[in-house]
Amino acid sequence: MSGGVDSSVAVALLRDAGHQVEGATMKLWGGESDSGCCSISDVEDARRVAAQLGVPHHVFNFTQDFESQVVSHYVSSHRDGLVPNPCIECNRSIKFDVFLDRAIRVGFDAIATGHYAKVEQDGPQFRLRRAHDMTKDQSYVLSVLNQRALSRVLLPLGDLAKTEVREMARSLGLRTSEKPDSQDVCFITSKGGRKEFMEARVQLTKGVLIDAQTRTPIGETDSLELLTVGQRKGISSGVSSVKTPTRRFVTEIDLHNKIATVGSYEDLLTDQVKLGPPTWTGEPIEQGQLVLMQFSAHGLAVPARWIGDHVVLDHEIRKPAPGQTAAIYQDDYVAGSATIIK
């Protein structure tokens, strides 16, 4: 229970379905936070909702695991010029791993979350499927789940629309019914942003900005780690001093040589994406098969051919940022995921 409306309603639905339900909120981040899943008011909201629904509530302290698995991964990825998705990393290594382990140890059969997605059983296999409400579908952030996790996860909101969920929360009189969705990374504050967070942990690297076509220097940046492939705004004051007829984007970041390449929209386009080793939700996909690739939480799925260490896309797209997760779909089922390398 994050303290939001979705997990609140998930609890109510499971309780009404006759399950013996207990609520749990994870304390993940001990530092400053202005949103996300670990502020005290969110825990209070979760506790209050659990009490209103008549289920016991627990707070689990996973701050150490979160620091070692999620935050340090976030920092080290940025140092390598990658832009990770910490929420996916948290799903992989905390929520559907150590949290699930704990739930099993203390005697539960399954864990449930308020994600909008579906788990379907197909013989001995569990399959992860997009939500009924495509505008809210969160199967992308769950694409890192394996069979073990899927066999132990209930997603009660998979067939509901967000409006229905809010309506249920309202009719139950839950204080979370009108609470806005959380959007941001829980350990990055809106005031300090990524810059302040990273500065406190690593020495940021100064770098040279190179033109993608001419390969000549066109400016400098104080912090290569804070650039993202595809970024247009605030790359460097250096760029604006160079006369460029078109909009400029970061097209590549090379921390090793302390270079970021900046180019036009066309320079940003690609029809191939290189991927790290995939994690499959079930059976691996064979090379050469057609898949749908989704490169961000709410991005469009692009038809592609699965080659193994890369995918060949049906048409050109803006380069996704290395470090982000690529979710691999077949129809509306999640086959797996891999980290974007290039």
Partner 1 sequence: MSIKYEPGQSRVYLDHAATTPLRPQVREFLIAALESGELHGNSSGAHSMAKVAKNKLEEAREIWAHHLGCSPYEVVFTSGGTESNNLAIAGTSGARGPNLVCTAAEHHSVLNTCLRLDGALCAVDKFGLADFQDLSNLVNHSTRLVSVILVNNETGAVNKIDQLADLLEGHAPNCLLHTDGVQAVGHLDLASTLRPVDLATFSPHKFGGPQGVGVVMARKKTQLHSIMAGGAQEFELRPGTQNVALISAGALALELVLEDQAREQARLCNVRAHFLDLVSSKIDGVSLNSSPEGVASIVNVTFSGVSNEELLILLDRQGVHVSTGASCASGAVEPSHVLGAMGISQDAAASSVRFSFGWSTKFEEIDLASEALICALDQLRSQAR
Cα 186 vs. chain centroid, distance in angstroms? Answer: 12
- Least spacing, CB of residue 218 vs partner 1, in Å: 48
- Total binding residues toward partner 1, as defined by CB under 8 A: 21
CB of 198 to partner 1, least distance (A): 26
15 lies in the binding site for partner 1 (CB under 8 A): no
Helix/strand/coil percent split, the chain, to 5: 30, 25, 45
Place of tokens 């952030």: 141
Examine the residue annotation and report whether 38 is marked as an active-site residue of this protein. Answer: no
The number of beta carbons lying within 10 Å of the beta carbon of residue 68 is 11
Q: Specify whether the CB–CB gap between 311 and 293 falls below 8 A.
A: yes
What letter represents residue 47's amino acid? R
Options 15, 48, 58, 274; binder of partner 1; rule CB under 8 A = 58
Q: Please report which helix (H) or strand (E) contains residue 150, including its range.
A: helix 147-150
Closest CB to partner 1 among 40 and 200? Answer: 40
The catalytic position among 37, 38, 87, 90 is 90
Query: How many Cβ atoms sit within 10 Å of the Cβ of residue 162?
Result: 16
Q: Which of residues 16-35 bind partner 1 (CB under 8 A)?
A: 20, 25, 27
- Tell me if residue 37 is catalytic: no
Which of 37, 38, 87, 186 is catalytic? The answer is 186
Tally of CA atoms within 13 A in the half-sphere of 72 that contains its CB: 8
191 binds partner 1 (CB under 8 A): no
Whether 181 contacts 4, CB under 8 Å:
yes
Going by their DSSP bridges, the two strands 269-274 and 117-122 should be labelled as unpaired
Shortest Å, Cβ 107 to partner 1: 4
Name which of 81, 124, 109 is nearest 19 in CA terms.
109
Pick from 17, 32, 68, 104: which binds partner 1 (CB under 8 A)? 104
- Contact between 64 and partner 1 per CB under 8 A: yes
Q: Which residues from 197-256 bind partner 1, rule CB under 8 A?
A: none
Instruction: Identify residues 37-56 at the interface with partner 1 (CB under 8 A).
Output: 38, 40, 43, 47
Task: Return residues touching partner 1 (CB under 8 A).
Answer: 20, 25, 27, 38, 40, 43, 47, 58-61, 63-64, 101-102, 104-109
The residues annotated as belonging to the active site are: 90, 186
